[in-house]
Structure formats: C-alpha cells, structure tokens
Structure 1
Amino acid sequence: MSQTLPVSLNTASIPVANDHTSRLPGWLVGILALWLMLLVWSFVRTPIPAVNEPHYMTKARHFWNPEWCDRDFFLSSSNPHLFYYVTVGWLTNFCSLHMATLISRLFGLLIFAIGWSKLARSLVPGFAAAHLAMALFLLLQASVNFSGEWVIGGIESKVFSYGFGFWGIGSLLRKQPVWAGILLGLSIAYHPLVGLWLVLGLIFYALFANRFQHSKLIPLARHSILPAICLFITSLPGLWPALMVILDDAPAATKFAGDYLQVYQRLKHHLDPMEFEWWRYAAYAVMTVALLLSYRFLSIRNQNESLESRTALRLLVGISLAALLFAFVGVLVGLRFVEPAQMLGLTWRVKLLKFYPFRLYDLILPAVLAIVLTRVLIVWLTNSEQDSLNLKRQSYLNFSLTISLFVVGITLPFGDRNSSRMPTQMRQDWLAACHWIEQNTAEDALIVTPRHSWAFKWFAQRAEYVSYKDCPQESAGILEWNRRLTYKYNWSVESYTDEIIDEQDLARLAQETQAEYLIATDTGTVSVDPIFVNSSYRIFSLK
C-alpha cells in the first residue's frame, strides 16, 4: 500500500470526491496563489497593451460608444465576439482603455486560475501540485506552440473561454453535469471556436470510451439532455452573433474570396499547416509521445487508484487524442505541393481550415501533459523507498521545481515584451505622433496610417482608414479590408514613380479615402510641408 505524501504534493490516495471538504481558507489561498502566478506572468511578459489588446478593447469600446471613432472601418464591422464586448466593454465608459484592460486581465486570469485548479485537481489533488503543473504548463507555452495559440498574456475572449472550459471539465469529473453544461456554455459564449472544440473533444472521448456501443451511449445521452440544454442556453449570447457572421447572405464568390484571404493571407500562421515550421511538428510529436508514455506508466502503477482519478486520467488523455485527431485531419486538408490557388478541392478545403482545426491540440496538449507529468512525479515519490525519510526534502523539491520552472519560463525571450516590435526610438516617435494626432485633430477625424500602425486607435483615439492588424470577420468586410490595403500600397508605388509625392498625389489619396490626415514614414521625398515631423514619422494634412 502506497505511503502518504506530505501536504506539499498531497497524496495520490485522496479521493477526488472529497475535494469539497477542503477548508475554505486553504481553497482560497490555493486559488489566490495560482492567480498571482498568472498575474506576474502576464504583466512581466506582456505589458499593457499586449499585441491583441488594442484589437479587442477598441472594438469593445466602440460597441458601447458607437460615436467613438465612428468612421473607423474595422470598428464598424461585425461583432463575432459580442459577449466579450458586452461583458468587458462597459468598463471603457468609466475608465481609460489601459485601466479597463488591467481590470479585464484581473478578472480573466482569476477565471482561468479557478478553471485550472478544477481541472488539475481532478488528477493531482492538492493546490501545491496544481501550482507545479501550472508552472510546467507556462514553461511549455513559453517554449513552443504548434499554430500560434497561446492563452496567458494579454486579455481577450479566449482567456475567459479556456478558463470556463477547464472549469466545466473539472465540474464534469466531479459529477456535476448541469454545472459543467453551464460553464462549457459560457466557454462557447466568450469564444465560440475555443468552446466548441472543447465540447467536440468531450463528445469524441465519450464515443470512443464507450466504443460506440448503443447500450452505453443511449443512457449517457439521456443523462446529458439537461446539461446540453444548459450549455445551449448559456452559449447563445456568443454563439448566435458568430453564426450570423458565418451564415451571412453574401454571394458564394464573396464568401470564398473572404475565406481564402483569411486562410492564406491574414491568418496563414494559424490556419495553413504548410506555414508551420518542421520543429513545431517535431516538438508536439515528442510531447504527444511523452503523454502516452506517462499514461502507460500511470495505468500500470496505479491499479489501486480511485475510480475518480482513473476516470480523470482517461478523460484528459482522451481529449488530447481527440485534439490530435482534429489537427491530423487539418494537416491532411491543408497538405499541398502546389500554390494554394492550384489545389484540388480548394473551396471546401478553405472552408474547413478557417475553423482553426489545430487550436485545441495546440493548447490542450501542453496543459494535459503538464498535469499528467505532475501526477507521474507524485506517483514516483509515493512509491519511493526513501519517501518516509525525506518528507521535508520532498516538500522542498516541490517548491523548488515550481519556482525554478516559473522563473525559467518568465525569463525566456518573448516578442510581446515589446508588442510594437519597434526599436526604442521608433516606438517613442510613433507614440509622439499618436499623441499629436489626439491633441490637434477633431475627434471625428479619419487618418491614413502606415502599414505598421501599432495600437493607433488606442493611443491616438482616432479612426484609421485601414489597419493590417484589424481585419473584419465577415466576408464582405475582409474583401473591403484587402481592397483598402491594396489601394494604399498602389498609391504609394504610383506616387513614388517620379520619386516625389506632391499635392496632386495627396489630393488623390484624400479623394479616395475621405481622410483628413496622412501619417508617413520619414523615407521618400514630399513636396508638401508636413504639419508634424520627428525622426521617424511625418504627418500631412489632406484637407
């Protein structure tokens, strides 16, 4: 019979069902410690505004105050993340974008901390073990990803979605199906793709775990009716707006063109498997093998394990394998040896790839692997012959591993420490130009910005003609986004043909864009005097 571990890692023999008997102070301290880890990680590695926060928060502010930057093309487009804008955007009515983002990070990461604790403790009872699993997960996320997916950094809808999704899976393992349905519904509401992939992973696990036997699946389906109703109701606030974007009445040619631009231009780093580097495939193959070997080890060593623990292990690994299946199908769909436009079956391939088939595998594999490896450590320490002689050493080992993994992960190089991707001087010049626009232009002014217009609406508080980062989601909006980018590029090429931009060139730009101002880099010759200039940027009036 296995010996008991110290409180630092808890014991493998404590039934998960008794988790609710934990004293409130200990539960609260554990959640707060996880929350603190996430907050430190978030603010150290991704200072406000992170790479996607201007994209989400300006959209949320415009939803609550349509007059703010009302001429901005992107802000006036569809709202596929409506539930996020509703629940977060109201903060912008009372505080700045920076403060609203800070508050949103606090709440979003708290939800994720609760979700992680519920998910991790289904397999590794004890908050100290959940902290160790969290540190390992963060290190894995900092080291590699498969298709560009991340979760802890800046705030956006998927932070809430993964938090509620993990919380829902944890509730399901604690035999709280109705509560699980509500939480998974909220996961879908905040980010329909994230939430639906999680639910689809659960469905695939249930089908395979019961070997498609009607005698098992029919009773399971009957018991799932009420949770499914709860899931459907709570998912509607976010699911319905997303469906309206997908099922818009645009012509088929417009929809195809929009999908093509999304998959093979704007989001190819997330959606086109031919864009993923070979080492990402290799890293995730190694992690998948490590997960399977760990599962085999635990299956052999834990014959006397509680039913709850064995069920949790099978479910977590099962969801990971379902995610692997989704990703594998995605790779097959996107596999090509010619240019995208020459692919056979291009229409249906693009349609499937736009739904992010790699997203769940990208995130759930490191999450589950971190939890399972922590479980392996617990079992190994429990069965160690010297276990009873080294309780203090085990406690020190747990604490040291958690801190070490966390510190290593937080110090790894990460681009979002400077989300502008600009050199220091250029960043300062850009902020100065944005500040000048805010102080010296009308609130309803429209600005033509450079291609690399980092967080312009955030800092300048003005609408911009088009931004490469801010791409709409509906097909017609994507085509208009592409048309505007193409026009701006062609205007630059044509205007520089005679090696000088003159009043006629600026007049053509003003007529096409209806904008009042142009921000240009300091390269090239312009015959018109700028109204603002620094070492990197010049601002011209188009009036």
Structure 2
Amino acid sequence: MPDDDESASQETAVAGQTIDASRSRWWPVLEVIAVVALFFIYAADAPPMVNEAHYLVKAKNFWQPDWCANDLFTASGKAHTTFYFVFGWPTLFLSLEATAWIGRFVGWTLIAIGLYRLTTALISRRFATLGVAVAWIAAIEYGNLAGEWVIGGIEAKVPAYGLVLMALAELVHRRWNRVWILLGIASAFHVLSGGWSVVAVAIAWLFCEWPRPREDRKPFFTPALFLGGAIALIGVVPALWLTMAGETVDSVRVARIYTFYRLPHHLLPSNFQFHWYVRHAVLLAGCITLAWITRHQGHSEASNRDGWNRFRAFAVGAILIAVIGLILGGLKVYAPDMAAKLLRYYWFRLSDAVVALWFALLLVRCVAQRRQSKAMQISGFAGLAICLVLVGISSFDRIRLAVPPSASNAMLGWDVDASPAKQQQVFEDWLKVCDWVRLATDRDEVFLTPRHQQSFKWYAERAEVVNWKDVPQDSKSLDQWYKRFREIFPPRLSTIRVTIHYASLIEYRKKYGVNYIVVDRRITGKHMPLVRIYPLEEHENDTYAVYELPYAMP
C-alpha cells in the first residue's frame, strides 16, 4: 500500500489536472469574449450604422405592419424574412437603438465563435483568433475591391458570415455534411453571402476531393447537401417570390436601375476607382507571398496541411467568382442589358471578405509557427502591428466624429470636409427636427425629406415619399422608387433638393398624400415661400425646418 505522502502526492496531481482541465474549458470562452470586445471597440458607434436604418425599420414593419405603412420601402416586399423574423421581434418591446445593440452583440458573437473555430482548426495557439480578427478587420477595410465589410452594424449578412465561418471550420476538418447544413442556414439569412459560399465550397470539393481515389473520396451529393438546400429555401423563396411578383415590370429596366444607377459602386467593375484595384491586388499578392513562404510548415503544431489546402481552395473559389464578375463587367460595352441583369448578384462580395480572411490567417500563421525563421516571425509581428495601428486609427476617427456612421457627412456625400464639431451640431439639429415630427404629427403622415439623409424613419418614425438609401427589393417597387426619386429630386436641380414650384408641390400632395416637407436649410436657404411650422424661432434649429405644402386653389 502506498504511504501517506505518496497518496497525498497523487491527490495533488489529480487536483492539478482537474484545475488545468477546468482552465482549458474557459480559454475558448475568454478568447471569444476578447474578439467580441475588439469588435465593440472597432464598431461600437451609436446606432444606426450604415445599413441598420435600412434593415431594422424593415424588420419593425415586418412585426408591426401598421408602422410606417405608407412608406414605399418599408411596406414593400420582404426579401430577408429570416433576418426580420429572428432579429426584428425586440422592436415589439424595445426601441430601434436597443434592438440594434442586441442584434450587434448576437451577430458579433456568432462571428467570433465561427472565427475561433476556424482559427483553432488551423493554428494551435491561444488567442491566435484575436490576431486574426485584427488583421481581418484591417485587410477588409483597407484592401477591399467593392466596398464589402463584415464587422459593423447588424444586418442579414452578419449572422450569415458567422455561419459561413463555422462551415469553413468544418471544411478544414473535412466534415462535408456539416458544411452543407451550416451554409444552408447561412443562405436562409442572406441568400447571396451564403449562396456564393456554397459555390466556393463546391469548387473546393472539386480541387480537394475529386483527385482522391474513389474509395477515399467524400461524396458530393449527400442527404446533408439536400437538407442544406432545403433550409436555404427559407431565404431563397421570398427572394424568388419578389422577382415573380414583378413580372409586369420591364425586368431589363429594373436591372439597369439597380446595377447602373443605384449600386454601381458595389456591382459595376468599371465604376470601381483605380486605387481600389491596386489595394486589392496588393492584398492578394500578400496572400500569395505568405502562402508560398509558409508552404513547408506541413503537419507542424501550427498548421494542418490538408486543412490549409481546403481553406485555400475555398479562397480560390471565391476569387474565381470575382474574376467571373470582372469578365461580366466587360459586357456593359457590348451587351449592357445582359450585364445589368447578371451583375446584380454581388460577384465581389465573397472575395472581399475571404481574401482578407486568408491574408489574416496566413499572417498569424507566420507568427505562430515556432520553427519559422526569426526574420519571418519579425515580419509577421510587424504586419500584425501595422494592422493594429490601422484598426486603431479607424476606431479613433469614429470616436472623434461622435455621430452615427449613417449621419456622417462622408457617408451622406455632403460637405465632407466639415469638422467633427460642425457635424455634431448638424446631427443634433437633425435629432431635434425628427423629435418634433414624431411628437407633433400624426403617425400616418408622409413627408418629403432631405436628399442627404438616411435615418428619418429611424428617428421620426414617419413615412417618406422616397429615400435614396432605401431601395426596395421587388421589381415593381424598385421601378416606383426610381420614378419617385427622379421626380422629387430632378436632375435639373442636381438631385440634391426638392423643387419649390407650387404646381409640383400641389401635385405631390395629391399624388403621394404628403402634407409636409423637411428641408436642409444649408441647401434651400433660411426662408422659403411656404408656411413654416418648425422652428417657430430661428435659434431653435439652424439646419432643418419643416414647411406645409400648398393646397390647390378652389
């Protein structure tokens, strides 16, 4: 029998192992929390972020159909029903701001969990995910081609990307059945983000599974693939329904409006600025260089050769999709109608996110590999330091501006050189006029609103005749949106202001049921030949005013 000292020693060892096991269970939680904290530092702007005023007002109307029911965009067809159903119900009990914060933390947590699972599948170092997150944020912001982002406000693509990351972790482990199901759920939230990921994973299967011997090859067509497709229909069917509902509208005309008029900065390669191509090419060159330098790491503790190969094949698939998009962009010269139809599908969205992610993983791989040369590790640390500085600069700029991104002049494209103090004052005036509208007018009123704003419904909770940001997804409503915008903000006035021609305003009252117009006094001037109902005193609001539209003479 062992003596007392030996028994005590064994008990101590067991206790130590129990403590170590307990600590190991907490490391993933701490790492995910750290990544969410990074997202908060980077993107904790006051709501609404760029697309939150677009998505969440739609979600609120989904749950409360009588809310802004007279608004063309809000009441139009619902393309992202899964997102509205899952993230919109808090609007029944909470403000839009509170709903946005809840959605952000849920979305950020999904992305952090997915990023943790993917990173640890490839790199076995504690808190490597934090380094990947820093590099990924910087690479997307400063290396994108078509304006894509991942970490920001809550919208449908955010939970979709979280699920895509989880699917990629399963791809690395060669668990194809789980990949298809997770991508099906991602597609239910956002058809394009999830759908393009399915295409890229299919390309990865061709690269990685097809060359294997038949007995070792994972099958492509499996029950899980069809189950994932069935789940994806939750998101696909509403989108198809909107398309079918718009058959009476000229589809070519609508496609031209969407691709060439409203969203060329995301969809049309010829509209991309030259330096966008340069920065994205530099990022892609960095990926290729890092992949070549680290190619001999093999099965070392910092990497998994087959797993890396599968992720690389996915990244190549995303790049091939973007290359096809570039080729289709050339059709605008020879077949503009076909180009307009085909380019609607955001061919560059996935590559913007995935090339940046590939770069981030490879950069951290250089640092994490113990057998790597000192020069390479130093270079990796230097790269991470640069990414951290870039993320810090972006975060500081937004903190200093102290207005929601959706209200910043840079986003709205008006007086972009205005100082932070000036922008803050204008934003305070915007809140004042929206508060007055919400408190002093009936809920079913419709307003003409300034061209350079995108948050009137968010703050005032009233319908608008038309809003540049809020583009309906169904063809019929999109066609109406275009006609309204061209009418309300005519090209002869540089599309920046509403006409004050009495006959036109009287026609707007009869045609759209609009009684009031909110004007930006920096554009229209302090005095207009209409009845002003707000502000009653000049000092109450220097920037915005509300006027009543004229009536037709009896």
TM-score with structure 2 setting the length: 0.83
Q: Deviations over 1:457-492 (max 9, x none)?
A: 000011111111001011111110001111112499
Structure 1 stretch displaced more, 175-184 or 49-58: 175-184
1:244–1:297 distance in 2 versus 1, CA, 3 Å? same
State whether structure 2 residue 215 is matched by structure 1 residue 220.
Answer: no
Higher RCO structure, 1 or 2 (CA under 8 Å, sep 6+):
1
1:229–1:119 distance in 2 versus 1, CA, 3 Å? same
Amino acid at match of 1:427: F
Partner of 2:513: 514
Correspondence for 1:263 among 259, 262, 265: 259
**2-structure distance, mates of 1:217, 1:409:** 51
Q: Residue 425 of structure 1 aligns to a residue in which SS?
A: helix
Q: Residue 34 of structure 1 aligns to a residue in which SS?
A: helix
Amino acid at match of 2:263: L
State whether structure 2 residue 44 is matched by structure 1 residue 40.
Answer: no
Amino acid at match of 1:42: A
Partner of 2:545: 538
Partner of 1:156: 155
Alpha-carbon deviation of 1:504?
4.7
Partner of 1:314: 309
**1-structure distance, mates of 2:139, 2:303:** 27
Amino acid at match of 2:453: S
**Which residues in structure 2 correspond to 1:349-498 (within 5 Å)?**
349-379=339-369, 381-384=370-373, 406-408=391-393, 410-411=395-396, 418-422=405-409, 423-490=423-490
1:363–1:397 distance in 2 versus 1, CA, 3 Å? closer
Alpha-carbon deviation of 1:349?
1.6
Alpha-carbon deviation of 1:398?
11
User: What runs of 5+ residues in structure 1 fail to find an aligned partner?
Assistant: 1-19
Correspondence for 1:335 among 327, 330, 337: 330
Amino acid at match of 2:204: Y
**1-structure distance, mates of 2:532, 2:175:** 65
Alpha-carbon deviation of 1:85?
0.2
Alpha-carbon deviation of 1:193?
0.1
**2-structure distance, mates of 1:513, 1:333:** 39
Alpha-carbon deviation of 1:102?
0.5
**1-structure distance, mates of 2:457, 2:448:** 12
Alpha-carbon deviation of 1:347?
2.4
The number of aligned residues is: 505
Partner of 1:323: 318
Amino acid at match of 1:329: I
1:369–1:493 distance in 2 versus 1, CA, 3 Å? closer
Partner of 2:293: 297
Alpha-carbon deviation of 1:282?
1.4
Alpha-carbon deviation of 1:399?
10
- Residues 124 and 301, structure 2, Cα contact 8 Å, conserved in 1: no
- Residues 157 and 189, structure 2, Cα contact 8 Å, conserved in 1: yes
Q: Deviations over 1:303-322 (max 9, x none)?
A: 44479811221122222222
1:317–1:500 distance in 2 versus 1, CA, 3 Å? closer
Amino acid at match of 1:32: I
Alpha-carbon deviation of 1:402?
8.4
1:306–1:230 distance in 2 versus 1, CA, 3 Å? farther
- Residues 135 and 405, structure 1, Cα contact 8 Å, conserved in 2: no
Alpha-carbon deviation of 1:406?
4.8
Correspondence for 1:274 among 245, 270, 278: 270
Q: Residue 219 of structure 2 aligns to a residue in which SS?
A: helix
Alpha-carbon deviation of 1:133?
1.3
Alpha-carbon deviation of 1:438?
0.4
Structure 1 stretch displaced more, 176-185 or 65-74: 176-185
Q: Residue 122 of structure 2 aligns to a residue in which SS?
A: coil
Q: Residue 49 of structure 1 aligns to a residue in which SS?
A: coil
Correspondence for 1:526 among 512, 525, 528: 528
Amino acid at match of 2:314: I
1:492–1:96 distance in 2 versus 1, CA, 3 Å? farther
Q: Deviations over 1:320-349 (max 9, x none)?
A: 22222111121121126xxx5xx3222222
Amino acid at match of 2:293: F
Amino acid at match of 1:530: R
Q: Deviations over 1:290-310 (max 9, x none)?
A: 2122222222x2244479811
Alpha-carbon deviation of 1:286?
1.8
**1-structure distance, mates of 2:374, 2:490:** 73
Alpha-carbon deviation of 1:529?
2.3
Amino acid at match of 1:221: P
Alpha-carbon deviation of 1:32?
1.4
Alpha-carbon deviation of 1:384?
4.5
**2-structure distance, mates of 1:156, 1:128:** 27
Q: Deviations over 1:366-417 (max 9, x none)?
A: 11110011112222x4344899xx9xx99x9999788656535533679986
- Residues 174 and 307, structure 2, Cα contact 8 Å, conserved in 1: no
Partner of 2:62: 63
Alpha-carbon deviation of 1:138?
1.4
Q: Deviations over 1:418-446 (max 9, x none)?
A: 43124333222222111111011001111
**2-structure distance, mates of 1:367, 1:324:** 12
Q: Residue 65 of structure 2 aligns to a residue in which SS?
A: coil
**1-structure distance, mates of 2:238, 2:215:** 32
- Residues 302 and 365, structure 2, Cα contact 8 Å, conserved in 1: no
- Residues 48 and 405, structure 2, Cα contact 8 Å, conserved in 1: no
Partner of 1:77: 76
**Percent same amino acid among aligned pairs?**
26
- Residues 363 and 384, structure 2, Cα contact 8 Å, conserved in 1: no
1:306–1:480 distance in 2 versus 1, CA, 3 Å? same
Partner of 1:6: none
Amino acid at match of 2:283: M
Q: Residue 220 of structure 1 aligns to a residue in which SS?
A: coil
TM-score with structure 1 setting the length: 0.85
Amino acid at match of 1:489: F
Alpha-carbon deviation of 1:237?
1.7
Amino acid at match of 1:419: S
State whether structure 2 residue 118 is matched by structure 1 residue 109.
Answer: no
1:208–1:30 distance in 2 versus 1, CA, 3 Å? same
Partner of 1:177: 176
**Which residues in structure 2 correspond to 1:189-228 (within 5 Å)?**
189-210=188-209, 216=214, 219-221=217-219, 224-228=221-225
Q: Residue 60 of structure 1 aligns to a residue in which SS?
A: helix
Q: Residue 345 of structure 2 aligns to a residue in which SS?
A: coil
- Residues 531 and 547, structure 2, Cα contact 8 Å, conserved in 1: yes
Q: Residue 466 of structure 2 aligns to a residue in which SS?
A: coil
Amino acid at match of 2:306: T
**1-structure distance, mates of 2:281, 2:446:** 48
Amino acid at match of 1:241: P
- Residues 178 and 230, structure 1, Cα contact 8 Å, conserved in 2: no
**2-structure distance, mates of 1:134, 1:427:** 32
1:477–1:505 distance in 2 versus 1, CA, 3 Å? closer
- Residues 172 and 311, structure 2, Cα contact 8 Å, conserved in 1: no
Structure 1 stretch displaced more, 313-322 or 499-508: 499-508
- Residues 287 and 362, structure 2, Cα contact 8 Å, conserved in 1: yes
Q: Residue 91 of structure 2 aligns to a residue in which SS?
A: helix
1:441–1:242 distance in 2 versus 1, CA, 3 Å? same
Q: Residue 154 of structure 1 aligns to a residue in which SS?
A: coil
Amino acid at match of 2:312: V
Q: Residue 150 of structure 1 aligns to a residue in which SS?
A: coil
Partner of 2:26: 25
Q: Residue 127 of structure 1 aligns to a residue in which SS?
A: coil
